[in-house]
Structure 1
Amino acid sequence: MSQPRITPFDAAAAIERAARLQVMAFDVDGVLTDGGLRYGPAGEVIKTFDSLDGHGLKLLAESGIVTAVITGRKSDIVARRAADLGVAHVYQGVHDKRVAFENLCAKLSVEADVCGHIGDDWPDLPVLTRVGFAACPANAHAEVKARCHWVADSRGGEGAVRELCDFILRAQGRYDALLAQALA
């Protein structure tokens, strides 16, 4: 069985693609979390989110980039985290992420080429192969990595999203101004 050829992303092309972004969509398990599913005594799923990742999403929104969540699982905790971060477009319990992504584009009246998505496994591929900017965490499945424009150095739930947000903000020339605001 042959393995997919994983090549380092073209940094210049990734910057150019990220510079055009108007919308950035995020998977949850394995991206905004470490992918672990912990069950509480009543059977509830417990997820851990990285606070640095969350602040990155807030910075994207502050800079005018629309953020969205597209995830296969449905969870009250995801709805709560999205609300805490001001993510207005949340698609949960999605069996076909491509359909949710197309609905998001239609709702926002945007084309796929100004959208990005970060995902880590096969269910994300239908979106990752359509967006203008495809990204994944360092521990994404090899087939996903092989199809992304940008691969984080960090793992999902451990800073990959913040790394991505900083990359986008730098590509759009907004990072320094946001940092200066924080230092003021």
Structure 2
Amino acid sequence: MIKLIIFDVDGVMTDGTITYDSEGREYKSFNVKDGYAVVTAIKKGIKVAVITSRFSPMVEKRCKELGIEDIFQGVDNKLKSYEILKAKYGLQDREIAAMGDDIPDLPILERVGISGAPKDAVEVVKKKVKFVSSFPGGKGAVRDFIEYLLGGIE
């Protein structure tokens, strides 16, 4: 049984687009349906975490809104953050699921019990995961993966 789901952000929880205005402020868009699925998973007792290479205040804000407590941003070695989470919750690899879209996510995706990728992930990632969503990142891939893991959302 999956007890923890880990998500990358750019290209998974968002469409991977990074937009700046003339003042240098960064903008990201998150999918509301993905958010509902995250909240549902948390309500069912599944921990949800984010591990991302970039740092963005918007990620922190969105994660807090959804109830995600474990947020790792600006991470160079994603596997190190994975090991911290695994130890924190006393979990085995088989009890963890993860979704990523690019090469930096592979070390985690190759370890977890169930791995997933959005439809528009890079090919090398899609070839190594168990589940490839029919939706692209930021456009329903997170919800699709959670529904796959939970056998649906009610």
Which of 92, 95, 100 lines up with 1:119 in the alignment? 100
- Which 5+ residue runs of structure 2 have no aligned equivalent? none
Structure 2 counterpart of 1:72, from 32, 53, 60:
53
**Which residue in the other structure is 1:94 paired with?**
75
Q: Given the alignment of the two structures, is residue 59 of structure 1 paired with residue 40 of structure 2, yes or no? A: yes
CA distance in 2, matches of 1:127, 1:27: 10
Query: Are residue 160 (structure 1) and residue 141 (structure 2) matched?
Result: yes
For these two proteins, the number of residue pairs brought into alignment is: 154
Deviation at 1:43? 1.1
Q: Say whether residues 1:143 and 2:97 are aligned partners.
A: no
Percent of residue pairs identical: 38
Q: CA deviation at 1:41?
A: 2.2
Structure 1 gaps, min length 5? 1-19, 180-184
Aligned residue identity for 1:132:
G
Whole-Å separation in 1 of the counterparts to 2:22 and 2:58: 16
Q: What TM-score comes out, normalization by structure 2 length?
A: 0.97
Aligned pair 1:22/2:12, yes or no?
no
CA distance in 2, matches of 1:91, 1:105: 13
TM-score (norm 1): 0.82
Distance 2:23 2:75 in 1: 24
Per-residue CA deviation, residues 34-67 of structure 1 (Å, 9 max, x unaligned), is 0001012221221000000000100111111100
Q: Secondary structure at the match of 1:146?
A: helix
In the aligned structure 1, how far is the partner of 2:84 from the partner of 2:24? 32
Letter in 1 for 2:127: A
